[in-house]
Amino acid sequence: MNINTLKGGSVKKYCMLTRRLLSHLQHLAERSSFMENAGCYAASAFFSGKDYTEVEKMLSRLLESLHGGELISCEISSGKIIDQREEHFLILRGRFFEFYNYEETSACFIRLYLLKELRGEKVWCAMYVDENPRSPWWTEEV
């Protein structure tokens, strides 16, 4: 399922933050995707590397404007992506956001990276979102 093909009621209200993030950044995105599985939502969007700062500012402003929840924001100074024990990409910088929506009892995790090919010069910005409307954070402890 792609965010560009969604109609009004085709996705439950719980993924509103994921949809809102993609919609807010759509004009800058080179491509994006939206998926639903077992009541949880995942999305990704890819941008030109030169747009990293603008994407980060837009994400921060949108998330900081939300009410009824807790926002955690962490800056990433560097890193790498290792897949199947093989290093593939360098993380030049990034930001990790967590948003806990008290009203909808959902948890949303947003990762924003400025990436570079390990064996090349290509640089791009990638955003990955995971939203769980059935987070156990709101269940009573036993």
Split into its structural domains, the chain has a count of 1
Return the pLDDT at 38: 84
128 is a domain residue: yes
Domain-located, residue 9: no
In a domain, 104, yes or no: yes
What pLDDT, on the 0 to 100 scale, is given for residue 15? 60
User: Which domain, by its residues, includes 27?
Assistant: 14-135
Residue 8 placed within a domain: no
Q: Is residue 141 part of a domain?
A: no
The torsion region of residue 136 among left (phi > 0), alpha (psi -120 to 50) and beta comes to alpha
Evaluate whether residue 78 is within a structural domain: yes
What distance lies between CA 63 and its chain's CA centroid? 11
Q: pLDDT in tens for each of the 142 residues of the chain?
A: 333 333 334 344 546 789 999 999 999 999 999 998 888 899 999 999 999 999 999 999 999 999 888 999 999 999 999 999 999 999 999 999 999 988 888 899 999 999 999 888 999 999 999 999 877 777 766 5
In a domain, 98, yes or no: yes
140 lies in a domain? no
